Amino acid sequence: MAADLIVYNIGTLVTGKELEKKFFEDMENIEVLTNGYLAIKDGKIIGVGEGEFPKELKSETTKLIDAEGKVVTPGIVDSHTHLIHYGSRENELPLKIKGVPYLEILKQGGGILSTVRNTRKATEKQLFDKAFEVLNRMAKFGVTTVESKSGYGLNLETEIKQLEVNKLLDEKHPLDIVSTFLGAHAVPEEYSTNKTGYIEEIIKMLKIVKEKNLAEFCDIFCEDSVFDVEESRYILNEAKKEGFDLRIHADEIVSLGGAELAGELMTVSAEHLMAVSDKGIEELAKNNVIANILPATSFNLGKSYAPVRKMINKGVTVALSTDYNPGSCPCENIQLVMNIASAQIKMTPLEIIKATTINGAKVVKREKEIGSLEIGKKADFVVYDVDNLNYIFYNIGINHVNDVFKNGKQIVKDKELCY
Ligand code: NIG
Ligand code: FE
């Protein structure tokens, strides 16, 4: 079968295909080819290997691209973002610098609640346009799939509005969007003295969101003075009954037992985990819950990093994402996340590539379609303007992505959008 496109002379081709682990804790077990090629037809990979590509892959109409010895990896999966929101919160910066804690700003009606006020007022078009621009920037950093949560509506009308925007973006933007319902992100002002009332409201919303087929995942902010472990258990169990896959913001700021709950409910992932307990790590490992780590949030809040090495040593699957949101992490730059993971968490280049590709794909339950460059999978891949993998993590703070392909179509060429 002849290809539509062949990319050849790839100096380092990280296919991301998972190899058998040499050691229990091995997170570097992905395939790396040298002098590789990739062949694509109808948006899917039909050939991948080392050396010269087989002649039968090429016909008269096949387009050939010489990668000139550069590095190619699978497209990045940013598996935790709060993409859909309106307004910004730079007014909180002086407070943050003076040391006012994140949860204190929220308690005073700022933080998430301030974004809720703006998002409720915004039109669908305003939300769409703002998110569209962000997706363009993410694409330039090599991202090809994005998970996107609601959670700045905290009422039916605005939560649905946010999720409708997810759907529209998935249709109109080249990147794929995976939609998550996060009605349990905070207790809205109108329910400030009646949290139970809001929890019942969330249960009603779950049904409607599922009926309208607007989200695959249900998430919750399990945190001190937001939703405690018991409330989180109740809401997530109800979500499961409605057919949602589960995920949870767990032990982000206070060690509350969110990771233990994730293990008990066998959620797909547990997110943040900066304050996870040893028992929590054991539960994640035992129940195959993916630890989705968001180091740019630690960096921005000036908090400690999640104990990633400890988790890897216990056999926990680790993913990395931006957590892009207007409060704790107004950052859509996954390469900054990758740089922080290297310099501060001491993850190796291959561990980081794995955490942002195939493990990110597992977080959004798309590992059969994306996350690695294997025959039959989507041709989502990134060409870095470097001749070895280490360089990406060595020369920090700049964008090393040169070209991005989504479903076999080039969407970034020489660092600029081209779709
Ligand atoms: O993942 N922690 C809860 N949600 C976001 C922050 C949202 C916001 O501050 O607007 C997070 O950090
Ligand atoms: Fe988050």
Q: pLDDT tens across 11-50, in order?
A: 999 999 999 998 888 999 999 999 999 999 999 999 999 9
- Nearest-CA residue for ligand 1 atom 1 is 323
C-beta of 325 in contact with ligand 1 (< 6 A): yes
365: left (phi over 0), alpha (psi -120 to 50) or beta: left
Q: Which residues contact 90 (CB under 8 A, 6 or more apart)?
A: none
> What pLDDT, on the 0 to 100 scale, is given for residue 130?
98
Q: Mean pLDDT across the stretch 157-169?
A: 98
Q: Give CB contacts under 8 A, 24+ apart, made by 199-202.
A: 199/231, 199/234, 199/235, 201/155, 201/156, 202/235
The answer to whether 5-75+373-417 and 77-363 have equal CATH topology is no
- 77 pairs with which residues across the strands? 145
Q: Which atom of ligand 1 is nearest to the CA of 326?
A: 10
Phi, psi angles (nearest 5°) of residue 162? -65, -45
String of DSSP letters for 214-281: --SEEEEBB-TTSB-HHHHHHHHHHHHHTT-EEEEEESSSS--SHHHHHHHHT-SEEEE-TT--HHHH
> What pLDDT, on the 0 to 100 scale, is given for residue 109?
86
Ligand nearest to C-alpha 113 = 1
**H/E segment holding residue 407:** none
- 178 pairs with which residues across the strands? 147
Where in the chain are the domains? 5-75+373-417, 77-363
> What pLDDT, on the 0 to 100 scale, is given for residue 171?
98
Ligand nearest to C-alpha 328 = 1
| Alpha-carbon separation of residue 22 from 19, 27, 205 (angstroms) | 9, 10, 46
C-beta of 252 in contact with ligand 1 (< 6 A): yes
Contact at 8 Å (CB) between 53 and 38?
no
Span 5-75+373-417 CATH architecture: Roll (2.30)
C-beta of 297 in contact with ligand 1 (< 6 A): yes
C-alpha closest to that of 152 among 73, 219, 224: 219
Q: Which residues contact 76 (CB under 8 A, 6 or more apart)?
A: 141, 142, 143, 144, 145, 334, 356, 357, 360, 382
Q: Does 10 score more than 90 pLDDT?
A: yes
CB atoms within 10 A of CB 333: 18
Ligand nearest to C-alpha 81 = 2
User: Which one of 329, 331, 332 would you pick to mutate in the ligand 1 pocket, going by the greatest count of ligand atoms within 8 A of its CB?
Assistant: 329
Q: Does 384 score more than 90 pLDDT?
A: yes
> What pLDDT, on the 0 to 100 scale, is given for residue 123?
98
**How far is the centre of ligand 2, averaged over its atoms, from the C-alpha of 82 (Å)?**
6
String of DSSP letters for 354-367: HHHTHHHHHHTT-T
**How far is the centre of ligand 1, averaged over its atoms, from the C-alpha of 146 (Å)?**
17
C-alpha closest to that of 322 among 309, 310, 307, 332: 332
Band (292; pLDDT cuts 50, 70, 90): very high
Question: pLDDT by residue (tens digit) across 202-247?
Answer: 999 999 999 999 999 999 999 999 999 999 999 999 999 999 999 9
Mean pLDDT of the chain: 97
Q: Mean pLDDT across the stretch 123-150?
A: 98
Band (80; pLDDT cuts 50, 70, 90): very high
Quote the DSSP letter at residue 155.
Answer: S
> What pLDDT, on the 0 to 100 scale, is given for residue 108?
86
C-alpha distance across the termini of the chain, in Å: 27
Band (201; pLDDT cuts 50, 70, 90): very high
C-alpha closest to that of 412 among 37, 18, 144, 41: 144
Name the token pair of 209.
Answer: 């969101």
User: Which one of 112, 320, 337 would you pick to mutate in the ligand 1 pocket, going by the greatest count of ligand atoms within 8 A of its CB?
Assistant: 112
Q: Which residues contact 370 (CB under 8 A, 6 or more apart)?
A: 74, 75, 77, 144, 145, 176, 361, 377, 378, 380
Q: Mean pLDDT across the stretch 332-343?
A: 98
C-beta of 219 in contact with ligand 1 (< 6 A): no
Q: Which atom of ligand 1 is nearest to the CA of 297?
A: 12
Residue with tokens 């309208």: 212
- Nearest-CA residue for ligand 1 atom 12 is 328
Q: Does 5 score more than 90 pLDDT?
A: yes
Q: Which atom of ligand 1 is nearest to the CA of 221?
A: 3
> What pLDDT, on the 0 to 100 scale, is given for residue 304?
96
> What pLDDT, on the 0 to 100 scale, is given for residue 24?
86
> What pLDDT, on the 0 to 100 scale, is given for residue 264?
98
CA–CA dist 60, 345 (Å, integer): 48
**How far is the centre of ligand 2, averaged over its atoms, from the C-alpha of 375 (Å)?**
33
Span 77-363 CATH architecture: Alpha-Beta Barrel (3.20)
